[in-house]
């Protein structure tokens, strides 16, 4: 198995806001060559080479739990530093989600780092979309280096619909082509709808790409 080409250990702050697969994400990042600190301390975000925002669950609960960290996450991103959202964490990078409206909870504002909304699957297939699906890389970005045509593991009922089509880095097909990877215009804020920590060698490649990207910044 190839090792990550980084010359030094990369430090990653894994955001602990009560909704995430912290243990499996930590293992995956460590396998990719990172030193991981699970934290809710904004000072740790500033000290780390990169920040990972994991997430499992509902958009409203995610934003409410992460509310005290909103400013720190936004500052980190606006400083041009790497921020990687996973699953719900990716959806939280966007502006809004239909999920709160669907549940009768009204509008909830996301981090608005990748402008757009999250919409519910409206397909003649079982929802949530759960299982392995093929990645179709739409454009170049360091996070997807070497994974075009590979398969990743998804569990979700909503998907990102960015305002700017160029924000879509890779797609997958589930009755509709939906964004599997998104990124902001600067490229330092990005997310995967799938779980790289559950996606075998493909996921490990994604995590190594992230670690390498952090090392180069």
**Active-site residue numbers?**
87, 195, 197
Task: Identify the CA nearest to 179 among candidates 112, 129, 126, 105.
Answer: 129
Q: Are 33 and 41 in contact (CB under 8 A)?
A: no
Q: Are 119 and 98 in contact (CB under 8 A)?
A: yes
User: Is 146 exposed, middle or buried, given 0-12, 13-18 or 19+ CB atoms closer than 10 A?
Assistant: exposed
| 182, β-bridge pairs | 168, 191
* CA separation for the pair 42, 39 (Å, rounded): 8
* CA separation for the pair 195, 154 (Å, rounded): 6
Alpha-carbon distance values, 184 to 20, 66, 158, 199 (Å): 22, 20, 19, 23
* CA separation for the pair 213, 6 (Å, rounded): 9
Task: Identify the CA nearest to 36 among candidates 55, 21, 46, 49.
Answer: 49
Q: Which two three-digit tokens encode residue 133?
A: 């699906």
| SS3 category, 212 | helix
């Amino acid at each position: 198995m190839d090792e990550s080409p980084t010359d030094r250990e990369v430090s990653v702050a894994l955001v602990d806001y009560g909704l995430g697969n912290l243990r499996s994400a930590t293992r995956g990042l460590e396998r990719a060559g990172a030193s991981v600190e699970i934290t809710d301390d904004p000072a740790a975000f500033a000290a780390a080479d990169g920040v990972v925002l994991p997430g499992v669950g509902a958009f409203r609960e995610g934003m409410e739990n992460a509310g005290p960290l909103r400013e720190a996450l936004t500052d980190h991103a606006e400083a041009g530093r790497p921020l990687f959202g996973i699953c719900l964490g990716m959806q939280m990078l966007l502006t809004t989600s239909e999920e709160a409206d669907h549940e009768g909870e009204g509008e909830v504002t996301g981090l608005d780092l990748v402008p757009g909304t999250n919409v519910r699957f409206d397909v003649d297939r079982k929802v949530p979309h759960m299982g392995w699906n093929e990645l179709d890389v739409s454009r170049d970005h360091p996070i997807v280096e070497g994974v075009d045509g590979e398969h990743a593991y998804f569990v979700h009922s909503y998907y990102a619909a960015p305002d700017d089509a160029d924000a879509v880095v890779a797609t997958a097909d589930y009755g509709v082509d939906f964004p599997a990877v998104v990124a902001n215009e600067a490229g330092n804020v990005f997310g995967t709808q799938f779980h790289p920590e559950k996606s075998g060698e493909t996921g490990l490649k994604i995590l190594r790409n992230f670690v390498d990207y952090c090392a180069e910044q």
